[in-house]
């Protein structure tokens, strides 16, 4: 089982692009397989929308939160590393135009030498959709079409797609991705997210703040059954775990559970401080028994 780590860049002068570069280099040197970068285009002081990962629905972001665009972070970190995979965690795909996103992702993939992976979801904030001028309704169907249309644009010399939200004929989007296509992961624990992962994607990326991880796997396998498929090695299962800055034993315990259930990647979701970040990363690497730690 591979081990990845999340990173939060932007929002303060200390978390600049130079910090992102150093963070990625350190993670690679310690044996982490991947760096996961979250996305929101904009934030708000308060939300009426309910955040899905807290009991009261409050995201608790704070008034000064900020994030760099994960595609730009991936390009910067990719240029400073050689083996580290770069993953969006997750991009809110329906908020962006499909073909423009396909173009940007292809460029990042080339900048990273084929090490970029696109994690996508549909999001939860109606406020963010409204600010971007995109309808919140039918975002799931929009996401499905975007994935299908982007796949065609990446793999065909002349691509055409006719859907409800995306329509184009004979578009040329070259060069093709480095490895011929882009790995797409679907983030989210809902039934529609799992349906989307099984039907359209190369894997599923869940978030495990509490409860039973076994239930997630059971729901995913039930979706494979509904679609008449069998989960095999071509489908990647990944799980991220939110952790305090020093919850090393909990990380090791949860990684063991994920490994026993057949997960391909365990992602440390820890808010690592900027000061002495390399020592924090080293402790995570040691706790998870990475070979280079």
Q: Nearest 5°: CA angle at 19, between 14 and 23? A: 135
pLDDT(105) > 80: yes
What is the DSSP pairing of strand 2-6 with strand 265-270? parallel
Give residue-wise pLDDT tens across range 251-280.
Answer: 999 999 999 999 999 999 998 999 999 999
Tell me if 293 sits within 8 A of 31, measured CB to CB: yes
Look up residue 134 and give its DSSP letter. Answer: -
Give residue-wise pLDDT tens across range 14-27.
Answer: 999 999 999 999 99
11 in helix, strand or coil?
coil
Write the CB contacts of 211 (distance below 8 Å, at least 6 apart in sequence).
none
Could you give the percent of the chain with pLDDT greater than 70? Answer: 100
* Residue that is written with structure tokens 């859907």 in the block: 163
Tell me if 153 sits within 8 A of 217, measured CB to CB: no
pLDDT(132) > 80: yes
Q: How many CB atoms lie within 10 A of CB 174?
A: 8
pLDDT at 32: 98
Structure tokens at 260: 């026993």
The burial of 260, by beta-carbon neighbours within 10 Å (0-12 exposed, 13-18 middle, 19 or more buried), is given as: exposed
pLDDT(12) > 80: yes
């Amino acid at each position: 089982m591979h081990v990845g780590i999340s990173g939060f860049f932007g929002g303060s002068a200390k978390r600049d692009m130079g910090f992102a570069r150093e963070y990625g280099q350190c993670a690679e040197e310690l044996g982490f397989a991947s760096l996961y970068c979250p996305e929101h285009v904009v934030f708000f002081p308060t939300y009426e929308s309910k955040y899905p990962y807290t009991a009261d629905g409050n995201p608790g972001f704070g008034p000064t939160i900020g994030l760099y665009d994960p595609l730009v972070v991936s390009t910067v970190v990719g240029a400073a590393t050689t083996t580290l995979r770069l993953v969006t965690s997750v991009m809110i795909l329906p908020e962006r135009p499909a073909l423009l996103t396909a173009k940007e992702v292809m460029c990042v993939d080339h900048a990273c030498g084929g090490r970029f992976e696109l994690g996508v979801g549909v999001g939860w904030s109606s406020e963010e959709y409204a600010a971007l001028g995109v309808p919140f309704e039918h975002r799931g169907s929009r996401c499905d079409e975007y994935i299908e249309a982007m796949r065609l644009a990446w793999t065909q010399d002349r691509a055409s797609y006719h859907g409800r939200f995306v329509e184009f004929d004979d578009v040329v989007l070259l060069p093709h991705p480095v490895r011929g296509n882009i790995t797409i992961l679907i983030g989210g624990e809902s039934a529609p997210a799992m349906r989307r992962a099984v039907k359209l994607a190369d894997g599923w990326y869940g978030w495990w703040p509490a409860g039973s991880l076994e239930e997630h796997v059971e729901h995913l396998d039930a979706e494979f059954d509904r679609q008449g498929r069998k989960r095999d090695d071509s489908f990647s299962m990944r799980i991220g775990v939110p952790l305090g800055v020093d919850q090393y034993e909990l990380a090791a315990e949860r990684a063991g559970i994920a490994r026993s259930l057949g997960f391909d990647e365990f992602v440390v979701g820890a808010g690592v401080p900027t000061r002495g970040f390399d020592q924090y990363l080293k402790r995570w690497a040691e706790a998870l028994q990475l070979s280079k730690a």
